Homo-oligomer: A and B are copies of this chain.
Amino acid sequence: MKIIIEKDFEAMSETAKNILLGCMSQDKRINLSITAGNTPVGVYKSMIEIVKDSPNYTNVHYYNFDEIPVTDQAEGITITDLRKLYFTPANINEANIHPLTVENYAQQDRRLAMDGGLDAMLIGLGGDGHFCGNMPTTTSFENLTYKVKVSGEEPWFVPDMMEKGLEFVTMGPVSVMRVKHLILIVNGKKKAEMVKNVLQGPVTEEYPASVLQLHPNFTVILDEEAASKLDR
């Protein structure tokens, strides 16, 4: 594990962008899995400027790592958000986007293996210690990509996004461990305690992201606030 502490959100975003672009600039197919949400907004903003309409990154293929289906919508929450944040403004060719869905999740690990594996994955950290869709109470470390049925009594239950009985899918710990370079970005004071728990505490399913300490090529990029409780 390599921890890079940057002074603020912008510097964190810049460093993550550099890592992704460095990987994408190689002379071979590159498979990337990238996160939706608020944390990567700065990363994508500067990537779009470089990638948009560029002939230089057509070798890059994109995979989402989790998905929550939405009733009456063709696509789920994650891919919809990724389109808005990055794929659409960067004009990514549809043939380079490989959605994970509730329908195809059982083929995800095999498909990735067939495509040569993921070269890099950019993830965030949940305030409850989750990564991808690996939540407290529903994560088993021995899982590949799997489906979770929400009971409605989970500690992380989000009423307006999920209903009782909803199912979502996520790449599991075993799937994520196979990524050649794993990059975690976290910012803000609110997550400082959880950053310490998952990076310097025991590996436990209670805080699923703690398992990432076992990843063989894991770069963590924090802003000063998120790093403020770490033992240095």
Q: A-side interface residues toward B, CB under 8 Å?
A: 1-2, 4-5, 15, 17-23, 25-29, 50, 56, 59, 113-117, 140-142, 173-174, 177-178, 181, 201-203, 210-211, 213-219
Contacts and interface: CB of A to CB of B under 8 A. Distances in A.
B213 A174 contact: yes
Nearest to A200: B142
Contacts of A22: 18-23, 25
B202 A140 contact: yes
A62 to B, nearest CB: 14
A174 B25 contact: no
Contacts of A141: 202-203, 211, 213-214
Given A142-B202, A203-B141, A29 B113 contact: yes
Q: Which 8 A-B pairs have the closest CB atoms?
A: A22-B22, A116-B116, A141-B203, A2-B27, A178-B216, A19-B22, A18-B21, A18-B18
Nearest to A199: B142
A13 B210 CA distance: 36
A19 B21 CA distance: 7
A61 to B, nearest CB: 9
A218 B25 CA distance: 9
A142 B213 contact: yes
A185 to B, nearest CB: 12
A226 to B, nearest CB: 15
A25 B29 contact: no
Contacts of A4: 25, 56
A212 to B, nearest CB: 10
A17 B19 CA distance: 10
Contacts of A18: 17-18, 21-22, 25
A114 B116 CA distance: 8
A77 to B, nearest CB: 27
B219 A29 contact: no
A19 B28 contact: no
A113 to B, nearest CB: 5
A47 to B, nearest CB: 10
Chain B CB within 10 A, most for which of A22, A27, A216: A22
